[in-house]
């Protein structure tokens, strides 16, 4: 039975996309008393666990919402990321000394975070229309009028009149496309591989740390997940990725073992296996009139460091505060400050997650001075990836 969808809806802010960013924005708007409607083409939360890391700044925000404990109950608390190299010393990014009440990060599947935020948003009086697909909008005086179609019935239409619209509808954003906003950047020229399942006994990565295994030709991340599960993801080796071969558990095992770590990366079972591409892109503009972009609709970057959900949360907090102020009578130009704050932040995060050169430096480091250079590069990554405010000593540099 499909959900009921009204033919005409009024609200102050329309949010397109019920992923982590859209739901975070909805929660922030509702707790400020702003009337908000979220629409999403999917009938339910996508069960595929894409992003999995929630960092300290996100945990502080979730604490303020009163739901950090609920999410942490479904997560693994992680204290470090360790880089393992063949026949070389390991390197560690340690999170335990962060200046926060939450000096760690969580490995938790994105769908679990979305379900908690959705329940909170609805409990705050937010409206959520699922199975509804944004098809375009036009500005109409002091409002905008958005057109929606049902994802399963093109003949059924919904119109939404709102003061402002936010596209939080992911990297393939229909809102961004409608606005004609460019999304320049880079697509890595290879497919990446991802497998989830139960680790073999030889895969002994501690359950409170993530790991990166760096081989001569490639690298994979190993992320412990709740329920005793593990995710292995990465480009593995260029030799494998250039082959035209159907993806299977056997092929994946061969590719991973080609890194040279042998049984240390062996999975006992694989029940999710896929490939994906990595993009680094940044929207030319975050605002066009009464429409704004947030989350992956505005910026995407390498998954290194687990920044996606956390960047979307920060976008939501910044944008909700500005929308509330403008809706209360402040000049609309205040919304330009959202891009002025968040676009440089997205650029900085992209730089911090582009670790290809760093991995190559690790591979080549043989002397103590070279290894010290690598450690210096790693110093501060825990703070930066946690997206905590810039420290005073850094701000004056």
Write out pLDDT tens, residues 82-118. Answer: 999 987 879 999 999 999 999 999 999 999 999 999 9
pTM score, whole prediction: 0.91
Q: Tokens in use for 172?
A: 């393939």
Per-residue H/E/C for 36-51:
EEEEECCCCCCCCCCC
Q: Tokens in use for 215?
A: 């081989």
DSSP state, residue 100:
S
Please state, in angstroms and as integers, the Cα–Cα distance from residue 29 to each residue in 8, 38, 160, 251, 332, following that order.
21, 11, 17, 47, 17
- CA count, 13 A, side-chain hemisphere, 256: 27
Sheet-wide strand order for 279-282: 185-187, 279-282, 299-300
Taking a C-beta distance cutoff of 8 angstroms, is the pair 20, 110 a contact?
Answer: yes
Taking a C-beta distance cutoff of 8 angstroms, is the pair 274, 145 a contact?
Answer: no
> What is the distance between the alpha carbons of residues 298 and 283, in angstroms, rounded to a whole number?
5
Paired residues of 165 in beta bridges: 14, 291
Cβ-based neighbour number of residue 367 at 10 Å: 8
Alpha helices in the chain (DSSP H): 20-31, 56-65, 68-72, 110-123, 174-179, 238-241, 249-257, 308-327, 336-353, 356-364, 368-378, 381-385, 392-395
Domains observed in the chain: 8-74+109-185+280-353 (3.50.50.60), 79-99+189-277+355-387 (3.30.9.10)
Residues of the chain with pLDDT under 50: 1, 392-397
pLDDT in tens, 216-233: 878 889 999 999 999 998
> What is the distance between the alpha carbons of residues 53 and 204, in angstroms, rounded to a whole number?
20
Q: Kindly tell me the burial class for residue 115, based on how many C-beta atoms sit within 10 Å of its own C-beta (0-12, 13-18, 19 or more).
A: middle
Chain CA centroid to CA 63, Å: 19
In the numeric block, the tokens 């699922």 are attached to: 130
Please state, in angstroms and as integers, the Cα–Cα distance from residue 345 to each residue in 103, 188, 239, 282, 389, following that order.
21, 22, 35, 11, 11
> What is the distance between the alpha carbons of residues 186 and 176, in angstroms, rounded to a whole number?
18
Cβ-based neighbour number of residue 326 at 10 Å: 16
Chain CA centroid to CA 282, Å: 14
Amino acid 5: pLDDT: 67
SS3 346: helix
Q: Tokens in use for 319?
A: 């944008």
> What is the distance between the alpha carbons of residues 199 and 84, in angstroms, rounded to a whole number?
17
Taking a C-beta distance cutoff of 8 angstroms, is the pair 286, 337 a contact?
Answer: no
Amino acid 263: pLDDT: 81
């Amino acid at each position: 039975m499909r959900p009921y969808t009204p033919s005409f809806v009024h609200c102050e802010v329309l949010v397109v996309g019920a992923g982590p960013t859209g739901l975070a924005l909805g929660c922030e708007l509702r707790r400020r008393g702003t009337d908000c409607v979220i629409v999403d083409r999917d009938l339910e939360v996508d069960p595929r666990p894409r992003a999995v890391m929630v960092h300290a700044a996100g945990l502080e925000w979730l604490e303020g919402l009163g739901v950090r404990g609920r999410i942490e109950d479904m997560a693994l608390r992680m204290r470090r990321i360790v880089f393992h190299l063949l026949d070389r010393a390991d390197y560690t990014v340690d999170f335990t000394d962060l200046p926060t009440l939450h000096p760690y990060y969580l490995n938790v599947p994105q769908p679990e975070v979305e379900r908690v935020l959705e329940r909170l948003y609805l409990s705050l009086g937010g409206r959520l229309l699922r199975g509804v697909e944004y098809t375009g909008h036009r500005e109409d005086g002091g409002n905008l009028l958005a057109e929606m179609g049902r994802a399963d019935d093109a003949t059924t239409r919904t119109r939404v009149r709102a003061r402002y619209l936010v596209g939080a509808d992911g990297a393939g954003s229909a809102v961004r496309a409608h606005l004609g906003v460019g999304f320049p950047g880079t697509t890595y020229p290879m497919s990446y591989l991802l497998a989830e399942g139960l680790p073999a006994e030889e895969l002994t990565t501690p359950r409170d740390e993530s790991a990166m295994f760096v081989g001569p030709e490639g690298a994979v991340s190993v992320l412990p997940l709740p329920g005793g599960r593990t995710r292995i993801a990465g480009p593995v080796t260029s030799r494998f990725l250039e082959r035209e071969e159907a993806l299977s558990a056997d092929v994946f095992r061969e590719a991973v073992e080609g890194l040279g770590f042998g049984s240390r990366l062996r999975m006992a079972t694989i029940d999710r296996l896929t490939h994906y591409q990595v993009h680094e892109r940044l929207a030319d503009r975050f605002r066009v009139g009464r429409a704004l972009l947030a989350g992956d609709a505005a910026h995407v970057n390498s998954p290194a460091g687990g920044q996606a959900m956390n960047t979307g949360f920060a976008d939501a907090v910044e944008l909700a505060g500005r929308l509330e102020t403008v809706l209360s009578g402040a000049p609309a130009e205040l919304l330009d400050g959202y891009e002025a704050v968040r676009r440089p932040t997205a650029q900085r995060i992209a730089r911090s997650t582009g670790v290809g050169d760093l991995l190559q430096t690790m591979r080549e480091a043989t002397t103590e001075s070279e290894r010290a250079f690598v450690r210096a590069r790693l110093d501060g990554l825990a703070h930066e990836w946690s997206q905590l405010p810039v420290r005073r000593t850094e701000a004056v540099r």
